[in-house]
Structure 1
Amino acid sequence: LCIADFLFCAMVLPFAISGFWTRTWSHGGALCKLVPFLRYGNVGVSLLSIALITLNRYIMIAHHSWYGRVYRKHNIALMIIFSWMFSYGMQIPTLIGVWGKFDYDPELGTCSIVTDEFGRSAKTALFVIAFIVPALLIFICYARIFWVVHSSEQRMREHQRSQSTNAGSLNNDKRSTIKDTRETKARRNEWRITKMVLAIFLSFLVCYLPITIAKVADSHVHFPVFHIAGYLLLYASACVNPIIYVIMNAQYRAAYKAALCCSLPSPSSEMERASRVQLQQHTNGFKPSVVGGVSGRPSGINDIRKIEHGSRSSFGPKNETATSGLGSQRNLKITRFDLD
């Protein structure tokens, strides 16, 4: 997704700005074919990437036992290759002039997909397929995610209400409630990442729905201003995702701050907070799920933790040593470098 957005900003936007500003094309016939080919291809990659990310979130939350089998390295590589090949492969007929062609569109003032000598154009079909298919997949996945999260919290509330004063019954209810509490905490941890992907999907609707409506309802460009406005929103989509990451994810904020200030962030406060949380989770017997970036892969930052038996070593005063109350009274040293 980042690569597609970067290529879009670097190789498409400059030519689009020039075309809209001068209302003509002065960059040659070859670029008049290449630029719209890259434009629509990168748009397709972005949409498929968002859809695949949403599917990743759905499997992580609703079918966690499948996750390790589905998202292996070679499977992830195949998904990425598919998104690029499908997005660009759909345009091959237009590129060779079999189904419409890439050429200058005087109504829009830029190079785009225009009708061929037989009056055929792939523009409407491409926009409908590129928008409807990802939108349906994303909608279905989010509907299921909302249902799973709601059911989990509802089950926890029911267990809390059904606690008995009977000692044996109370112990059973306590164990059951602790189990549900662990599941709910894990799902909430995943839900924080999912909310960010949901924000990306909403921005996807705002940025892509207008141009899709314009292409379907006004295929002959009787109202070019609506098409231009739709293109401007489409171009803005490549710049929106990093802003969403910064607003909704603490790790991205820290990384951007470090990059912009040309310095490495101090991990001490995060280490202290993470150690306390990890220590409490270990004491309760809760093993948190590993959550990665938006793609769902375990993060190198979140996943780096070291558990050592023994006394304090060279990690310094920032590490915390705790005594496990379960069994052998061995000292456990827990270090976690970041926890969002």
Structure 2
Amino acid sequence: MSSQTYGVGQHEPIYVNNSSTGCKVWWCDKQPTLITMEAIVIILCFVGSFGNLVTVLAIIFSSLRYSVNCILIGSLSFAGFLYCSLILSMQAVIFHRHSHDVPKDFCSAAGGIRYTLTGVIMVTLAAIALYRFLNVVYISTYRYMSENRQLVITLVICWLLPMVFTIPPSLGVWGAFQFQPSILTCTFDKNADQSNRVAMVTAGFIVPCLFILYCYARIGCTAYRSFKRMSRWNGTTPQAKALRLSAMMLCIFLIFFLGTFPYFVLNVTDKEFKYPIHHIWTTMFAWVLYCCNPIVYTLMDNNFRNAYKRFLMGDCERNPVRRAGSTLSRAASV
């Protein structure tokens, strides 16, 4: 069997040819490791797909569908569902087949879909942060942005903007995607133009993160000033409910940031894939956290708990209406 070791201080792996198979990558004699990774990906595929799909359906079949914030959450969850069902299922097949090579056209499409959906999730989180910021700080602008036309435009931008950076490498016009045997993934081609990778990470991760942090920082400052002005804070006011919902969405962003930050940093700093193990664990760590959003909704918002319960019990609202007393009502400006 072929084997690979890392010497002290060495960056490049040491490969030993396998006379029978010609396999030259680190996982050639790591059958139990591949089986474990395959099992983890299959579990995450089912859990993530189920959780995100239930979230989308619970929103559709309840009064949550009249909430601007929940519409954006539905878009976020739908992107998560597509990611878990498409990307993770393809990854499980690659782990199962122990692929040394994948057709270039397939990898270009898979890489494009993968990074497009990641971009959609990131831009949607930025859109949610913007709406939360307007909701707390500029309520009149929020009401304008919540009109059907503006909301539809926002959703279209969330889904189309990432394609500006992912379609060119998929077509081989600006950068490229290629199968990397050392990490068993269709990702950036290390031999192609790297400016697309830098632009994608900057525009699709760094800029949205800074924007989101700015929005939630302004929300926090506004909340702090409100606390200081009021001698007694009433947690049932629309403002308090809006702040609680903002806290939930901040938690969602922090989970996504925690999951993707190591991955994006590694992709920028290790363009030659000298540390394949790190690429794999950071990717799988991100996948685990992608599945956590429905858990956060359940723990932090009573309306989502009720919507999940009614949907899973088959007691969907046939003619859901906006509830004036709901945390997610117009009064709460959600």
Q: Same fold (TM over 0.5)?
A: yes
- 1:143 deviates by 0.8
Secondary structure class of the residue paired with 2:162: helix
CA distance in 1, matches of 2:147, 2:299: 30
Classify 1:24/1:68 alpha carbon distance in 2 versus 1 (closer, same or farther; 3 Å). same
Q: Is the 8 A contact 1:207 1:230 kept in 2?
A: yes
- Alignment counterpart, residue 148 of structure 1, candidates 222, 239, 260: 222
- Which residue identity lines up with residue 196 of structure 1 in the other structure? M
1:17 aligns with 2:92: yes
- 1:71 deviates by 2.2
CA distance in 2, matches of 1:107, 1:125: 24
Structure with the higher helix share, 1 or 2: 2
CA distance in 1, matches of 2:226, 2:248: 20
Q: Is the 8 A contact 1:124 1:215 kept in 2?
A: no
1:53 aligns with 2:128: yes
Instruction: Report the equivalent of 2:211.
Output: 137
Secondary structure class of the residue paired with 2:331: coil
| Deviation readout 1:189-208 (Å, 9 max, x if unpaired) | 11111111011011012111
Q: Is the 8 A contact 1:5 1:42 kept in 2?
A: yes
Question: TM-score with structure 1 length normalisation?
Answer: 0.68
| Deviation readout 1:115-152 (Å, 9 max, x if unpaired) | 34x65463343223321111101110111101111101
1:239 aligns with 2:288: no
Question: TM-score with structure 2 length normalisation?
Answer: 0.69
| Deviation readout 1:139-177 (Å, 9 max, x if unpaired) | 1011110111110110113xx7xxxxxxxxxxxxxxxxx
Q: Is the 8 A contact 1:53 1:197 kept in 2?
A: yes
Instruction: Report the equivalent of 2:258.
Output: 206
Instruction: Report the equivalent of 1:222.
Output: 274
Q: Identity over aligned residues, as a percent?
A: 28
CA distance in 2, matches of 1:147, 1:184: 20
Classify 1:226/1:68 alpha carbon distance in 2 versus 1 (closer, same or farther; 3 Å). same
Q: Is the 8 A contact 2:248 2:300 kept in 1?
A: yes
| Deviation readout 1:169-188 (Å, 9 max, x if unpaired) | xxxxxxxxxxxx78992321
- Alignment counterpart, residue 146 of structure 2, candidates 57, 66, 71: 71
- 1:209 deviates by 0.5
Classify 1:256/1:182 alpha carbon distance in 2 versus 1 (closer, same or farther; 3 Å). closer
CA distance in 2, matches of 1:77, 1:71: 9
CA distance in 1, matches of 2:93, 2:275: 21
- 1:48 deviates by 0.5
CA distance in 2, matches of 1:17, 1:121: 30
CA distance in 1, matches of 2:187, 2:91: 10
| CA-based RMSD | 2.6
Query: Segments of 4+ in structure 1 off by > 3 A?
Result: 20-23, 25-30, 118-121, 181-184
CA distance in 1, matches of 2:81, 2:134: 28
- 1:84 deviates by 1.3
- Which residue identity lines up with residue 199 of structure 2 in the other structure? A
Unaligned runs of 5+ in 2: 1-75, 318-322
Classify 1:249/1:182 alpha carbon distance in 2 versus 1 (closer, same or farther; 3 Å). closer
Secondary structure class of the residue paired with 1:220: coil
1:112 aligns with 2:187: yes
- 1:38 deviates by 0.7
Secondary structure class of the residue paired with 1:12: helix
Instruction: Report the equivalent of 1:3.
Output: 78
- Which residue identity lines up with residue 39 of structure 1 in the other structure? R
1:127 aligns with 2:168: no
Unaligned runs of 5+ in 1: 161-180, 266-273, 279-287, 297-340
- Which residue identity lines up with residue 131 of structure 1 in the other structure? F
- Alignment counterpart, residue 248 of structure 2, candidates 180, 188, 196: 196
Q: Is the 8 A contact 2:108 2:169 kept in 1?
A: no
Q: Is the 8 A contact 1:153 1:184 kept in 2?
A: no
Q: Is the 8 A contact 2:87 2:110 kept in 1?
A: yes
- 1:233 deviates by 2.2
CA distance in 1, matches of 2:236, 2:312: 36
| Deviation readout 1:52-86 (Å, 9 max, x if unpaired) | 10110010011112221222111111111111111
| Deviation readout 1:233-255 (Å, 9 max, x if unpaired) | 22234312111111111111112
1:290 aligns with 2:331: yes
